[in-house]
Amino acid sequence: MSLVSLRELTVALPSGADRALAVDSVNLEIGRNEIVCIVGESGSGKSLTAHAIMGLLPRGVHASGGEILFDGADLLKETPAAMRKRRGRDIAMIFQDPMAALNPVVAIGRQVTEQIRAHRPVSEHEALKQAAELLEQMGLEDVAGLLKAFPHQLSGGQRQRVMIAMALSLSPRLLIADEPTTALDVTTQAQILKLIKRIQAERGMSVLFITHDFGVVADIATRVAVMRHGRVVESGATAQMLRAPVHSYTRALIAAVPHGDNLLAPLPDAPPLMAVNRLTKRFARGGFFARNAVTAVDNVSLTLKRGETLGIVGESGSGKSTLARCMIRLLDPEEGEILFESADIAHLRARGLRPFRRRIQMVFQDPFSSLNPRHTVADIVTAGPRAHGENADEAHARAVEILRLVGLNPQTMDRLPHEFSGGQRQRIGLARALMLKPDVLIADEPVSALDVTVQAQVLKLLDDVRRQMNLAMLFITHDMRVAAQVCHRVMVMRHGKVVETGPTRDVFAAPSSDYTRALLAAIPGRGSL
Amino acid sequence: MKLTARFAHRFFSRPTALVGFALFAVIALVALLAPVIFARGPFSIVGMPLLPPGAPGLLAGSDVLGRDMAVGLAYGARISLLVGIASTLFAVGIGVLLGAVAGYYGGLVDDLLMRITEFFQIIPSFVLLMVLVAFLQPSLGSTVIGIALVTWPQVARVVRGEFLSLRSREFVQAARTLGEGDIRIIFTQILPNALPPIVVVSSMMVGSAILTESALSFLGLGDPNLLSWGSMIGGARSAMWVAWWTSVLPGLSIMVTVLALNFIGDGLNDALRPRGPR
């Protein structure tokens, strides 16, 4: 018998939501000692299914039908008190954002022991010993120091390990992981996936893993259920489904995962449009009198030709975003040159920069904070031309044209950003950048906040636009698969330095550094997709 | 238009906000129409002193000099609201400008402006205000300027905080890459997003400015040529025990006005709070 079986589970949304049922008659079995994945895009109901099992549906949302059998007992019939006891002891959960799930003002040690002592009558000292053991099992080093540290002092990967340790502290029989690696770098994601797999095997527990990425599924799941609009459209063994997906939606999801075939060939030699020579940017750290500075970008050089996409790949903290912000002069570099055509713009002041502003444009990472929430799409898109004193009617006419180009309906111009989805917002951000007819487009992780299927669409759009407008594009990402999709050349960065640079084909076929090899090995689903 | 309608719905669905708005509307109407409603000015003597409310022709009784209390209260509302709104407008003007510049530019500019702000905050504000008004000669203008000068730091602090957090948002960086200048970014990109807390703080400040004006007038530092609620209470001190209405009625007027403004402030706070996922 399975550990958990969902029988015709139905979750109703409050009236006025975009659909009546968030989860519609879902049947799902989670066996003992296996990892089951639910895959779907945002809004598919995958998270609410998980929250229903946990008994933690948001206010106004309730399970309106079906059963959730946990070891034979229907969780939907249990009292809130009984469910509270089950949470942590029988079922534990980890979330996408470990920073939000940890209390920022309580030391890690206290947070782990609190969890243990809430359920078990052990002394603080005993609980602390258990906590230290757990953290060691999670592959964390310097556990003694870690127990005294606060959440903000940890890296994203360390925080997620602490969350997993807390979830496992009472040896639950089911671990629910709700997109636990989506906010992490690809290399950290690979480590966390490996960790979850190892722990699951060691303890023989069941894991329900929620993700939007078939690459992750291929790496971790024994069985998989594909959800769309609240329904399970297909389910089965992972290997079987990867080999022969039946439903067209499953095929689309699998196809959306970048595969790394048909890589772009490097462009023929041509004089560079933009070049960076020995650029260095430091940030002062600490207080007013602190002398130590962090070198975020260390002696970096690159060239960029018209019509070419250069990928800058690295983990968070590698200096890739700082480099981009120096090149578009949101930041002032300390040393080095930034040549645009043949003018050095590295040290120009506001007035001198103005003529170059319109020629170098940027698409930002966060589709939510990169658009002013109080401006309409028309205001946002025409802001550039207006700032350069262009005629408002002409700007409006061009906005209609550009919105069509990026695949948006120009009739939605009077709406505010919050009425659009993440992918649509990224299109608006791209339209804003293209309005000034730039020569160089800098894209800073433009797809990392998007679902895999939407990622594929936006990547294709960027590549089409690059071709049509003959743009030079600087594409920043932490994900080698994404870089492989659109880049002619890639430059791998680590700790502010360039590790390796070359044509995408060559770097993928024969990486010259260990670090690049590690990045390539971290690609989820590599080999099985 | 749709946004305005949604905002109005959110605001008026709170009972306290509705009550506050209704009270404030009545007070403002009385203040505006005082010269129309009453034929005589507030200083003209109409009969015996200290007649109780309800005496013939005297809805609210008469004061120690035999003046009509009702006329006094209506004219007092004019002064209170005028001082409250004018001084708040001044204070918000100064506060928004300095707070925006400090928060947007940061660094040395921020340090300098915040030290100036703190200078005003560490001096006991009422003492400073009394000195200012006494120095400038008590008048409507000096009261307004004085109150604005001691209250702008509140606004500056709030605005600076908002600007500090908003200036690092990606849409502000995007505006810079588009070539928008600092002034344009401050006023068209950031300020609209910082408005909700500014509106809330100013609605509360009108109330506290009315209280401050009353306190000044009570102490005899108001404009001697104008009758205000505070000076009515001040003039009624000697008669407090024999004619309660002379001090209680203007006191109640102050209380109700300030309460209404605080209700409005609360309602605005709720209605303007950002909604949606981010």
- pLDDT (tens digit, 9 = 90+) per residue, A431-484? 999 999 999 999 999 998 888 888 889 999 999 999 999 999 999 999 888 898
Task: Measure CB to CB from residue A432 to each of B174, B182, B274 and give the nearest one.
Answer: B174
Sign of CA pseudo-dihedral A511, A514, A519, A521? positive
CA dihedral B122, B125, B126, B132 (to 10 degrees): 110
pLDDT of residue A528 exceeding 70: no
- A161-181 average pLDDT score: 91
Task: Measure CB to CB from residue A373 to each of B177, B184, B193 and give the nearest one.
Answer: B193
**How many DSSP H helices and E strands does chain B contain?**
11, 0
Chain A CB contacts of B179 below 8 Å: 354, 357-358, 384, 387-388, 436
What does the alpha-carbon distance between residue A360 and residue A48 come to, in Å, rounded to a whole number? 42
If you measure CA to CA, which chain A residue comes closest to B189? A372
B274 contacts A350? CB cut-off 8 A: no
Chain B CB contacts of A358 below 8 Å: 178-179
B181 contacts A358? CB cut-off 8 A: no
**How close A296 comes to chain B (CA, Å)?**
18
Residue A288's pLDDT is what?
Answer: 52
pLDDT digits (tens, 9 = 90+) for B45-87: 888 888 888 888 888 888 888 899 999 999 999 999 999 999 9
Predicted confidence band at A261 (pLDDT cuts at 50, 70, 90)? low
Alpha helices in A305-421 (DSSP H): 320-327, 350-357, 377-387, 392-405
pLDDT of residue B278 exceeding 80: no
If you measure CA to CA, which chain A residue comes closest to B179? A357
Predicted confidence band at B33 (pLDDT cuts at 50, 70, 90)? very high
- B40-44 average pLDDT score: 87
Chain B CB contacts of A432 below 8 Å: 174, 178
B178 contacts A373? CB cut-off 8 A: no
If you measure CA to CA, which chain B residue comes closest to A436? B178
Q: Which of residues 153-182 of B touch A (CB under 8 A)?
A: 169-171, 173-182
Tokens of A496: 């502010």
Residue A118's pLDDT is what?
Answer: 85
Phi, psi at residue A346, to the nearest 5°? -60, -35
Strands in A309-313's sheet, in edge-to-edge order, are A360-363, A440-444, A472-477, A309-313, A489-494, A497-503
Alpha helices in A406-450 (DSSP H): 422-434
If you measure CA to CA, which chain B residue comes closest to A368? B278
Q: Comparing C-alpha atoms, which of A378, A345, A360, A371 is closest to residue A426? A: A371
Task: Measure CB to CB from residue B170 to each of A350, A366, A375 and give the nearest one.
Answer: A366
ipTM of the complex: 0.79
Give the CA distances from residue A176 to residues A8, A10, A130, A375, B77, in Å, rounded to whole numbers and listed in that order: 20, 19, 22, 39, 63
pLDDT digits (tens, 9 = 90+) for B80-129: 999 999 999 999 999 999 999 999 999 999 999 999 999 999 999 999 99
Tokens of A152: 């903000």
Chain A CB contacts of B277 below 8 Å: 368
Chain A CB contacts of B176 below 8 Å: 330
What does the alpha-carbon distance between residue A323 and residue A280 come to, in Å, rounded to a whole number? 9
**Above pLDDT 90, what percent of chain A?**
60
How many Cα atoms within 13 Å fall on the side-chain side of residue A185? 21
A374 contacts B179? CB cut-off 8 A: no
pLDDT digits (tens, 9 = 90+) for A187-231: 889 999 999 999 999 999 999 999 998 889 999 999 999 999 999
A365 contacts B174? CB cut-off 8 A: no
B189 contacts A372? CB cut-off 8 A: yes
B184 contacts A364? CB cut-off 8 A: no
Task: Measure CB to CB from residue A383 to each of B175, B192, B277 and give the nearest one.
Answer: B175
pLDDT of residue A324 exceeding 60: yes
Predicted confidence band at A291 (pLDDT cuts at 50, 70, 90)? low
pLDDT of residue A106 exceeding 60: yes
B170 contacts A370? CB cut-off 8 A: yes
Task: Measure CB to CB from residue B176 to each of A330, A358, A418 and give the nearest one.
Answer: A330
Residue A157's pLDDT is what?
Answer: 86
Q: Do residues B36 and B43 make contact, with C-beta atoms less than 8 angstroms apart? A: no
B180 contacts A436? CB cut-off 8 A: no
What does the alpha-carbon distance between residue B239 and residue B222 come to, in Å, rounded to a whole number? 20
Phi, psi at residue A162, to the nearest 5°? -60, -40
Predicted confidence band at B7 (pLDDT cuts at 50, 70, 90)? confident
pLDDT digits (tens, 9 = 90+) for B181-203: 899 999 999 999 998 899 889 98
B179 contacts A357? CB cut-off 8 A: yes
Average pLDDT in chain B: 90
Residue B277's pLDDT is what?
Answer: 33
Average pLDDT in chain A: 90
pLDDT digits (tens, 9 = 90+) for A122-141: 998 999 999 999 998 888 88
CA dihedral B13, B14, B20, B23 (to 10 degrees): 40
B169 contacts A374? CB cut-off 8 A: no
**Above pLDDT 70, what percent of chain B?**
97
What does the alpha-carbon distance between residue A459 and residue A472 come to, in Å, rounded to a whole number? 15
Residue B273's pLDDT is what?
Answer: 66
B174 contacts A429? CB cut-off 8 A: yes
How are beta strands A35-39 and A223-228 bridged, if at all?
A: parallel
Q: Does B107 touch chain A (CB under 8 A)?
A: no
Chain B CB contacts of A354 below 8 Å: 179
- Report the residue count for chain B: 278
Predicted confidence band at B233 (pLDDT cuts at 50, 70, 90)? very high
pLDDT of residue A292 exceeding 90: no
Q: Does B277 touch chain A (CB under 8 A)?
A: yes
- Report the residue count for chain A: 529
Q: Which of A374, A415, A434, A441 to mutate to test the interface with B (most CBs of B within 10 A)?
A: A374
* Residues in contact with B141: Cβ distance below 8 Å, sequence separation at least 6, in sequence order: none
Task: Measure CB to CB from residue B178 to each of A374, A384, A418 and give the nearest one.
Answer: A384
Tokens of B91: 């204070």
What does the alpha-carbon distance between residue B260 and residue B238 come to, in Å, rounded to a whole number? 30
Q: Does B125 touch chain A (CB under 8 A)?
A: no
What does the alpha-carbon distance between residue A312 and residue A318 come to, in Å, rounded to a whole number? 10
Task: Measure CB to CB from residue B192 to each of A374, A432, A436 and give the nearest one.
Answer: A374
Q: Which of A331, A340, A353, A372 to mutate to test the interface with B (most CBs of B within 10 A)?
A: A372
